[in-house]
Structure 1
Amino acid sequence: MFFMVLYSIYSHATKHKTHTRSQPSPSNMSKQTFKVCWCFRRHFKLSDTEPPTDIKELFNRYSDNDVMTAENLQRFMTEIQGDDSITKEAAEAAMDAVIKEVKHLPIFHRRVLNLDAFFRYLFSDSNRALCFPPKVTHDMEAPLAHYFIYTGHNSYLTGNQISSDCSVVPIIESLKRGVRVIELDMWPNSTKDDIDIVHGGTLTAPVKLNKCLEAIKTHAFVASEYPVILTLEDHLTPDLQAKVAKMVTETFGDVLYYTGSESMIDFPSPESLKKRIVVSTKPPKEYLDTAKSMKEKDEGSLKTKTSSEDDPWGVELSDPVETYLSLDEDHKDEEFQYEEETMKQSMEPEYKQLIAIQAKKLKGGVKDWLHDDPTAAKRISLRETRLEKAIESHATDVIRFTQRNLLRVFPKGSRVDSSNYNPLIGWSHGAQMVAFNMQTHGRSLWLMQGMFRANGGCGYVKKPDLFLKNGPDDKIFDPKVILPVKRTLKVKVYMGDGWHLDFKRTHFDIYSPPDFYVKIGIAGVQADSVMKKTKIIQDDWAPKWEEEFEFPLTVPELALLRVEVHEYDMTEKDDFGGQTCLPVFELRSGIRSVPLHDQKGDKYKSVKLLMRFDFV
């Protein structure tokens, strides 16, 4: 009788599954009901799942008498995975790691793999799509201008740009993720005798400069040994500049990088700046007290909309916020223009000595901004909209400028919700510092995280040679020109696994297995960017798609592979099932394990896809 009751409940729940996609809250479900429903969840184990057809065929090809020896595995790694330098010892180590997990099976009294163990190996961390464990593989001896650098914008903000708190927490989180450029806006506090870090002219609650400096000192090199650059927006009087100089030198000591009085013809290399803090700012501007006028305005007209799943760039504003736009354009976008008399004001010598990378003001037209002074390398900053206008007619000039100088791009002022923009706009024109709001999430940030999974996640990615070397007749790369296909990436999506172990973070229908599908595509230059998707696999915690896609690439050096898993819902918005973004230029060929991440970019405990990558 008990099992008949259970079957009745299960049948009813399955019949109405499209109306019950969200997990019921405890207030709407009794404790006893929850226990009954939970027993129907399938506790999937990889060994209980039939391997895809290709995997079976490969195992048969590279095994003898239904077992794979270390020599067999080495041959598979060489011929299918493309690991030409793999040794027998490395194959044995990979085999031992798998055997350790399944040693309860009677066959493992010797060093061989059966089909199940081979299947486990393919899903293991040692067989990831990117090098694992991560390691730096790029040349790190070139000048800073030759690298894309993981860059934060308003790094102290916990939420939106208007009313959120300022805190050391987002600074610490950014550094733990490998961000190498931290931005601090320095303003006098209400008593004018101390320094606040705050988004000036807004309702954001400040945090003290000394707390931010201490947090940076503690966490700067947790994720990477390569230099942390502090971009400072300075709104201080000379006496407070002197106070900043004392704070910075006392906090960082010998870790602080000084250039001396001479200008640098070229910037130093990341290698030479290991475990150093580098300060970059403009000559100071007089403090403008706009906070009072902002507080008197009504900020209640914030309106945002969430973009559709087909919009690759996340959250956009439906209407600009009038109160924010009422600020002068330069203050709103944090790209301050300095009048000549302001430039001539005195600067404390101790403070001036801190500035290793001097940011220059924008003056005149685009050609003037991008003037390359052969006697001194410099940094300029452009908001995203100004860059878009500049590249309409000066794309190659922008790229030529970035061969020696640093270009920082930052979000337009109307992104008060802390949304982000397409980073490929900056990267495809050589911009090293594409500054992002790290406290929000969305597809733009997934691309940023994907780019900086390259080079061991150290926060510095060597720019492709096409940005650094001119062609015949001094010809510069132009991302608008459609080039011939250089390589074609073939991707096969076999299957997925692990959602059952991360149920609390994925929140799928409690009554029946999900209906998963995969969206897969390329983000890169316009000619290469595309998105495709698999069929929907119904009612399966370990879905098998076994579908293949081809992506012709004209500029594979800039291409990022986008992968998203969703759960189809007939009546509501499809549920999110995981995502990742991988730099195509570092993909390992062959059949690989691809770990998925949540919407914030944190890796799931166990959710993975099994995929194959081949370049032709």
Structure 2
Amino acid sequence: MGSYKKDKHRPSPLPESSNSNKDEMGSYNYKMFNLFNRKFKITEAEPPKDVKQLFSKFSNGGSHMTADQLRRFLVLHQDELDCTLADAQKIVEEVINRRHHLTRYSRHSLNLDDFFHFLLYDDLNGPITSQVHNDMTAPLAQYFIYTGHNSYLTGNQLSSDCSEVPIVKALQRGVRVIELDLWPGSAKDEILVLHGRTLTTPVPLIKCLKSIRDYAFASSPYPVIITLEDHLTPELQAKVAEMVTQTFGGMLYYPESDSLLQFPSPESLKHRIIISTKPPKEYLESSGIKRKGPLSPGGRNSSEEDDEASGIPYHTAELEADDRSDSDQDDVDLTDCDNKSGQLGAPGYKRLITIHAGKPKGCLKDALKVAADKVRRLSLSEQELEKAAATNGTDVVRFTQNNILRIYPKGTRITSSNYKPIVGWMHGAQMIAFNMQGYGKSLWLMHGMFRANGGCGYLKKPDFLLEKGPNNEVFDPKTKLPVTKTLNVKVYLGDGWRLDFSHTHFDSYSPPDFYTKVYIVGVPADAAKRKTKIIEDNWSPAWNEEFTFPLTVPELALLRVEVQEYDMSDKDDFGGQTCLPVLDLRPGIRSVPLHDKKGEKLKNVRLLMGFQFV
């Protein structure tokens, strides 16, 4: 039955062993209005009909499945064409060891329950491929890159602490682009990382650099890109160059020439760290601002991201008219910088820059012009991207075929929320910069997108974003495309909540009433939402419902899954979520682990789902 009004001071999730209100008969007791108890029997998840039929089919009607029979199931039904008998034997041994530890030496095959539990083990039967499978030898501009925004912030954009800790967490998750804002400290030669013109507390640059050095390749061997928003004098830029070279040593890559005709590949930059920023020049001169006195985090010498975040208008009389853009501080006139940086900046600092950030002065269309003799990075705010997508969509696609486009959140996102990333991906933008310490469904999509390609942080862009036609035409994101794939999704059952949560976490008076929502997130033509029925009073709900999703651009489609617990008198409760890249889904019946609202994997909660492409 539907949940009653619940106690809002619910306990936190409990560890696996904590079932304090479970009696010896395998039941949960719920106290009703402090007057009487309601007893609900704990039911274990049972194999669905499809699982029983598959077991019977591949065991030839027997009561046990041998390693060779399991191999046939994995090859023919799960489409694991490379599976060998030795692979299947290892799975059998692992399942037996987990489920029959005391008698493992006398068992050599799987019964139906063993087979069912194997399907539920996400480490043995996960939903997506765990290997890097994209071509990693193309230039960096041909990849979507897992990108952080203000990577040093622990919380909101205005008053949270700056720390190396969120940088470490991002790198451990697989993020490949780390952003640092550099400001001079009060002491001589002191360089701090902080969000300028806010109340954020600073962290020394050297701490951040050492953390990047120590954790850069904790989850991926592919290059880490450090984007710098630089508010420093030439003398301090030289100090940064010294700190960077001493900290990273041989890990640091920089090109031999000032201007690259094309970017190097992720494969060629394995275990290397590269720098991206504007070429050095007096910051205020390059921005067209007349200044006197030293740079200061509390002064007027900040990027527009800082101006937006602080709520102070950026467009002041101190700016030249043609410099009044919405882009990052690092978008300066590349031509001027290339000519003058050797005189005004720190030559050692300039030499370390692999990806030059900058744009010509003028309108957005001019900023998106492609130079024949060099490649660069351009930054746009999320609002600027929307404007460009509406008026110059093909220009954006053309620019991103060889150059790098970075999109950053609008300054009003002071709580470190995020925006919808799909517009940037549709136009080929490589760096969709997200607040990784943030929250919300947009961040779930970002997590999901970069679970693809083995979670390495680099995804090869779809061919249609890289190709040119016979008349030099490029893909138009506004074009309506035909359906190219259809994804069938079956939601069998869910399990694990009673191990991860207290028995009253979802409902004070009865077991939970779970249902599952399934979404396709992608280009507008592919967007879809489906929902299962509600299973009442059951910790292990079995839905056995199937949904079909036609897809026009499966390369950019994400399957978002969310479990909710129905409440008849209040907002439904969150029961877990995940987001998966459609083209990396493994066919067959798979275990799908769920995550909490912050994207952390729940210990035991998972769904059993089926995937099939037609």
TM-score, length basis structure 1: 0.86
Q: Is the 8 A contact 1:62 1:68 kept in 2?
A: yes
Aligned to 1:433: 431
- Structure 2 CA distance for partners of 1:56 and 1:428, relative to 1, 3 Å: same
User: Residues 140 and 270 of structure 1 are in contact (CA less than 8 Å); yes or no, is this contact kept in structure 2?
Assistant: yes
Counterpart contact for 2:331–2:359, Cα < 8 Å? yes
Deviation at 1:40, TM superposition (A): 2.8
Pick one of 294, 298, 308 that aligns with 1:291: 298
- 1:536-582 deviation line (CA, Å, top 9, x unaligned): 11111110011100110001111111011111112222111111111
| Partner residue in 2 for 1:40 | 29
Query: Are 2:65 and 1:79 aligned?
Result: no
Counterpart of 2:363? Answer: 365
Could you say which residue in structure 1 is the equivalent of 2:4? 18
Match of 1:518 among 516, 519, 523: 516
- Aligned to 2:209, which of 210, 213, 223? 213
Q: Say if 2:595 is the partner of 1:597.
A: yes
Structure 2 letter corresponding to 1:184: L
Distance 1:293 1:142, change over 3 A: closer
CA shift, 1:485, in A, is 0.3
CA contact (8 A) 1:203 1:291 kept: no
| In 1: Cα distance, 2:428 partner to 2:148 partner | 17
CA distance in 1, matches of 2:401, 2:21: 63
Q: 2:127 aligns with which of 124, 129, 149?
A: 129
CA separation of 1:106 and 1:164: change in aligned 2, threshold 3 A:
closer
Letter aligned with residue 326 of structure 1: P
Relative distance call for 1:338 and 1:262 in structure 2 (3 A) is closer
- Superposed CA RMSD: 2.9
SS at 1:126's partner residue?
coil
- The alignment partner of 1:175 has SS state of helix
- Taking the aligned partners of 1:445 and 1:95, their CA distance within structure 2 comes to 37
Segment drifting more, 417-426 vs 259-268: 259-268
Q: Residue type of the partner of 2:70? A: L
Aligned partner of 2:173 in structure 1 is 177
Summarize the Cα distance change of 1:393–1:332 in structure 2 as closer, same or farther, 3 Å threshold.
closer
Alignment-mate amino acid for residue 126 of structure 1:
L
Distance 1:323 1:237, change over 3 A: closer
Task: Please report how far the alpha carbon of residue 112 of structure 1 lies from its aligned counterpart in structure 2 after TM superposition.
Answer: 2.2
Residues 494 and 546, structure 1, Cα contact 8 Å, conserved in 2: yes
CA distance in 1, matches of 2:491, 2:259: 52
- The answer for unaligned runs of 5 or more in structure 2 is 13-18, 31-38, 285-293, 302-306, 317-323
Aligned to 2:489: 491
Q: Which runs of 4+ in 1 moved over 4 A?
A: 23-26, 33-39, 41-46, 104-108, 287-290, 320-323, 329-333, 336-345
User: 1:232/1:426 Cα in 2 relative to 1: closer, same or farther (>3 Å)?
Assistant: same
Identity of aligned residues (%): 55
More deviation, 53-62/593-602: 53-62
| Matching residue within 200, 203, 226 for 1:204 | 200
Aligned to 1:165: 161
Change (3 A) 1:384 1:24: closer
Match of 1:401 among 399, 402, 405: 399
Query: SS of the residue aligned with 1:18?
Result: coil
Show the 5 A alignment for 1:33-432: 40=29, 48-63=44-59, 64-103=61-100, 109-124=106-121, 125-131=123-129, 134-191=130-187, 193-283=189-279, 284=281, 285-286=283-284, 289=296, 291=298, 324-328=311-315, 334-335=328-329, 338=332, 343=337, 344=340, 346-432=344-430
> Within 5 Å, which residues of 2 pair with 1:413-562?
413-503=411-501, 507-562=505-560
1:74 is paired with a residue of what secondary structure?
helix
Q: Residues 292-344 of structure 1, C-alpha deviation per residue, up to 9 Å, x if partnerless?
A: 589xxxxxxxxxxxxxxxxxxxxxxxxx9996143448798644564799854
Q: Is the 8 A contact 1:181 1:230 kept in 2?
A: yes
Structure 1 residues 579 and 242, CA gap change in structure 2 (3 angstroms): same
Residue aligned with 2:263, SS: coil
**Structure 1 residue ranges without an equivalent (≥5):** 1-13, 27-32, 295-319
Supply the AA of the counterpart residue of 1:487: K
Q: Distance in 1 between matches of 2:106 and 2:297?
A: 75
Distance in structure 2 (CA, Å) of the matches to 1:232 and 1:579: 34
- Listed one character per residue, the Cα deviations across residues 517-539 of structure 1 (whole Å, up to 9, x for unaligned) are 11111111111111221111111
Task: Provide the rounded CA distance (Å) in 2 between the counterparts of 1:293 and 1:355.
Answer: 26
**Farther off after superposition, 212-221 or 101-110:** 101-110
| SS of the residue 2:155 aligns to | coil
Q: Equivalents in 1 of 2:222, 2:300: separation in Å?
A: 41
- The 8 Å contact of residues 43 and 500 in structure 1, kept in 2 or not, is answered as no
How many pairs were matched up?
A: 568
Once the 2 structures are TM-superposed, how far is the Cα of residue 21 of structure 1 from its aligned partner? 4.9
TM-score (norm 2): 0.86
Contact map agreement 1:23 1:510 (CA 8 A) in 2:
no
Matched residue type, 1:354: L
Whole-Å separation in 2 of the counterparts to 1:409 and 1:210 = 27
Moved more, 499-508 or 539-548: 499-508
**Per-residue deviation at 1:271?**
1.0
CA contact (8 A) 1:335 1:383 kept: no
Q: Distance in 1 between matches of 2:136 and 2:240?
A: 31
* Alpha carbons 1:325, 1:414 under 8 Å: kept: no
Question: Per-residue deviation at 1:137?
Answer: 1.5
Q: Structure 1: how far apart are the matches of 2:335 and 2:481?
A: 48
**Aligned-partner Cα distance in 2 for 1:506–1:376:** 61
Question: Offset at 1:90?
Answer: 2.0
Q: Deviations over 1:12-34 (max 9, x none)?
A: xx9x95122545569xxxxxx98
Deviation at 1:93, TM superposition (A): 2.0
Q: Tell me how far apart the structure 2 counterparts of residues 123 and 341 of structure 1 sit (CA, whole Å).
A: 58
What is the alpha-carbon distance in structure 2 between the residues aligned to residue 126 and residue 413 of structure 1?
Answer: 43
CA 254–43 in structure 1, closer or farther in 2 if over 3 Å, else same: farther
Q: Which stretch of the first structure deviates more once superposed, 445-454 or 101-110?
A: 101-110
